């Protein structure tokens, strides 16, 4: 498996002949994006690669479609060239009406879809995993989010788990305890907005360390903690949390250089 961290939550995944992209964000920096209910954030850095640099994409794994730091204007352009888009149920309804898009599959947490092989590559099983993008009772405001667990077959361990934008809460811990995961993409950043004070909308570095300790993947790759003004924890929080983490957790974490393909194969 080769991972290329493009920026924010956006990662090119190359495995078993498949080319997948998570949460495509390719807009330039400098714009302010609204997240609803008076919250907003400025994009501080641009993508390490352009859409053209990425090349052909078989599948987009879109944890949610309604926030500009997970799907922006240029990222929407990528959707039309992808073979399949897998996202939330509400996201599939919204995107299903967009002209020019290919198949859009909506999943609720726990549901599975299969991406069929074609003789040169195996089938991939994609299961949506639970995510809550904020404090308790915030789902009606922040909207639905899912993570994704990829397997070569439903009987095999998880090849790759993408947590999605989520706080650390009961169902996420339960998912971590129930999954045997090789590689995990862990969304971090500790998102906060001035208008909602101390409330957090994604995991902090300390939360990520706790989750990785429970999950025990072979490799854990932190993503979506840099490049935006709403990351209150950000790189510094992740650095501090990893410095204080048990050796076993630190040994599993791999920080990727933006734009550079990295092999994470055992």
Contact 9, 69 (CB under 8 A): yes
Domain count, the chain: 1
In a domain, 266, yes or no: no
Task: Retrieve residue 134's tokens.
Answer: 């904020």
Identify the residue whose tokens are 């995944």.
Answer: 13
In a domain, 264, yes or no: no
Cβ–Cβ contacts within 10 Å for residue 140, how many?
7
Identify the residue whose tokens are 């240029």.
Answer: 74
In a domain, 262, yes or no: no
Full domain range(s) for residue 100:
2-256
In a domain, 212, yes or no: yes
Contact 211, 179 (CB under 8 A): no
User: Of the candidates 181, 109, 171, which has an alpha carbon nearest to the alpha carbon of residue 146?
Assistant: 109
Q: What is the pTM of this model?
A: 0.96
Identify the residue whose tokens are 């501080």.
Answer: 44
Cβ–Cβ contacts within 10 Å for residue 14, how many?
15
List the CATH number of the domain containing 94: 3.60.15.10
What is the predicted pLDDT for the residue at 263? Answer: 98
In a domain, 265, yes or no: no
Torsion region of 98: left, alpha or beta (phi above 0 gives left; psi -120 to 50 gives alpha) = beta
In a domain, 186, yes or no: yes
In a domain, 6, yes or no: yes
Angle at 126 between CA 121 and CA 129, to 5 degrees: 155
The helix (H) or strand (E) run that includes residue 149 is strand 146-151
What is the predicted pLDDT for the residue at 170? Answer: 97
What is the predicted pLDDT for the residue at 141? Answer: 87
Q: What is the mean pLDDT of each run of 10 residues along the chain (266 residues)?
A: 98 97 97 90 97 96 97 94 95 85 92 93 96 94 96 90 98 96 98 93 98 97 97 97 97 97 92
Dist CA 211 CA 45 (whole Å): 27
In a domain, 181, yes or no: yes
């Amino acid at each position: 498996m080769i991972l290329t961290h493009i920026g924010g939550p956006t990662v090119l995944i190359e495995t078993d002949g498949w080319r997948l992209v998570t949460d495509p964000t390719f807009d330039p920096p400098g714009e302010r994006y609204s997240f609803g209910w008076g919250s907003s954030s400025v994009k501080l850095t641009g993508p390490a690669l352009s859409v053209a640099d990425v090349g052909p994409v078989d599948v987009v794994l879109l944890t949610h479609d309604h926030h500009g730091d997970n799907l922006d204007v240029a990222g929407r352009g990528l959707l039309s060239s992808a073979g399949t888009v897998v996202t939330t149920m509400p996201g599939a309804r919204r995107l299903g009406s967009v002209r020019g898009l290919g198949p859009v599959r909506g999943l609720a947490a726990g549901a599975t879809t299969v991406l069929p092989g074609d003789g040169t590559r195996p089938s991939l099983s994609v299961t949506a995993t639970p995510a809550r993008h904020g404090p308790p009772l915030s789902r009606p405001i922040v909207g639905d989010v899912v993570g994704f667990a990829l397997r070569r077959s439903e009987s095999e361990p998880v090849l790759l788990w993408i947590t999605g934008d989520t706080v650390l809460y009961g169902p996420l811990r339960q998912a971590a305890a129930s999954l045997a995961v090789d590689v995990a993409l862990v969304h971090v950043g500790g998102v906060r907005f001035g208008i909602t004070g101390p409330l957090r909308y994604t995991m902090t570095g300390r939360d990520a360390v706790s989750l990785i300790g429970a999950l025990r993947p072979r490799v854990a790759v932190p993503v979506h903690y840099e490049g935006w003004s709403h990351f209150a924890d950000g790189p510094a929080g992740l650095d501090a949390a990893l410095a204080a983490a048990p050796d076993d957790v630190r040994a599993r974490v791999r920080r990727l250089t933006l734009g550079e393909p990295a092999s994470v194969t055992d």
